[in-house]
Amino acid sequence: MDQFRGFAVTGMFVVNFLGGLAVTHQVLKHNNTHFSWADSIMPGFLFACGFSYRLSILRKIPELGRRATWLGVVRRSLGLVLLSLVLYGAGNSFDSWQSIDALAVQSFAAQMLKADLWEVLAIIGVVQLLLLPVIEASPRLRLAIAVGLSLGHVALSGWFNYWFVYGQANALDTFLGTTGRRAWDGGFFGTISWSVVMLAGTLTYDLMSARTARHAASTLVLWSLVLMGVGYAASCLTRLYDVREENPFPITGKTDSPFAQSPVSPPWANAAGRPWSSLLSEPPFVEPPGTAERKLNYWMMDKRVVTQSFVWFSTGFTCLTYAVFVVLCDLASMRVRLFTLFGQNALIAYAVHHPVAELVLQVVPEDSPVWWATIGLIVFFLITWFCVVAVVKMLARPAASNSSNPQPPSRAALSY
């Protein structure tokens, strides 16, 4: 898991640094219409957190008791939310003291809760709090909860959440006064979908703790194939939103709108008379046609809304990737120093990389050629590496001076 987590952190660094550069291939960029490798990074984080979460809870409760353990989770989770705000800010700001009134404060809070709060650390913290009551539950119950959460997200999106995330007209935006403001990574209700991914990580911990590495790896591969198959099958519903002259009824209310009129409830009649091959969506990592040919809908692998086709496929892809690490690390004893450092100190690495990336990108403009972007990426990694090592050593020094048996900072403290 340390190596897998380090791989996810390294991938995040690559994607975050290169994502805004024109020369970067689309597979390394986030998008809202299909699954790219960049879109696999965040599910990998939530999956790894779920694994560590279950491990930590089961180890600490016999030692500290449930009350102390739960209070510790609450403190750490709220700490992650606070750290996220420190790193990325609260989004909006007040122009002057005179502009601060009840309405302005309400608007500030509503926009933060809808969109600005939801960076990855805040999402992890809130999802941990949501799953705290069930983290000790049996695998069957957690699996049932995951299925229920998936279905609940579909239902909420059909009711209002799809339009809510995209800032289109809906009752909740009207009530909050946030119409026109888009969210990302699912916004407030995206935590429902991310909980599914974290629960998959907890189930993987159960598998790894109960089976041999070889048996666990083969089971993970089977899980991954099922989940990716279900995710891809769900994404095929996007073909019902193809714009065709022979559509039995319009799929959008306005001809110039990029959105389908009914993005969650598929227009099943649009499958009539079509060969089955025309109902297969593009494979993952391949861009679909634009909105002139296919209207935006819930069944796309959409990370902005965190649709269930995205959740199921990305969770399956993560399981497959983790199975590869089980084979390489547990059966073949592979270790990569970069993955070890970042994997055992993921929180430190995450906090450090953001200002370092901003610093280096000041001299790597958006239209940089490949060679300059590559040099910038290497410099970014070197500075981040040295900073993480320095911070880890500083944290280890007080522990060594206060103990007759010096120990490095605990792996859980730096990665959980």
Q: Give the pLDDT of residue 415.
A: 40
Q: Give the pLDDT of residue 289.
A: 92
DSSP result, 298-320: TTS--TTTT-HHHHHHHHHHHHH
CA distance 414 to 344: 6
User: Which region, left, alpha or beta, applies to residue 89 given φ > 0 means left and ψ of -120 to 50 means alpha?
Assistant: left
pLDDT at 409 over 50: no
At 151 the three-state DSSP class reads helix
Continuous H helices in 114-246 = 120-131, 139-156, 162-165, 171-176, 190-210, 213-235
Q: Give the pLDDT of residue 253.
A: 56
Task: Please state which of the ranges 209-223, 234-248, 397-411 shows the lowest mean pLDDT.
Answer: 397-411
Number of domain units in the chain: 1
CA distance 243 to 93: 42
CA distance 106 to 110: 6
pLDDT at 25 over 80: yes
Measured in residues, the chain has a length of 416
Share of the chain above pLDDT 70, in %: 93
DSSP result, 91-117: S---S-GGG-SHHHHHHHHHHIIIIIT
Residue 402 token pair: 């206060």
Q: Give the pLDDT of residue 251.
A: 64
How much is the average pLDDT of 380-409?
76
pLDDT at 169 over 80: yes
pLDDT-derived band at 269 (thresholds 50, 70, 90) equals confident
Residue 183 CA, distance from chain mean position: 14
pLDDT at 361 over 60: yes
Q: Which domain holds residue 383?
A: 2-95+102-415
Task: Please state which of the ranges 4-8, 114-118, 275-279, 407-411 shows the lowest mean pLDDT.
Answer: 407-411
Number of Cβ atoms within 10 Å of the Cβ of 303: 27
pLDDT at 394 over 70: yes
CA distance 191 to 189: 5
Tell me the CB-side half-sphere exposure of residue 3, using CA atoms within 13 A. 16
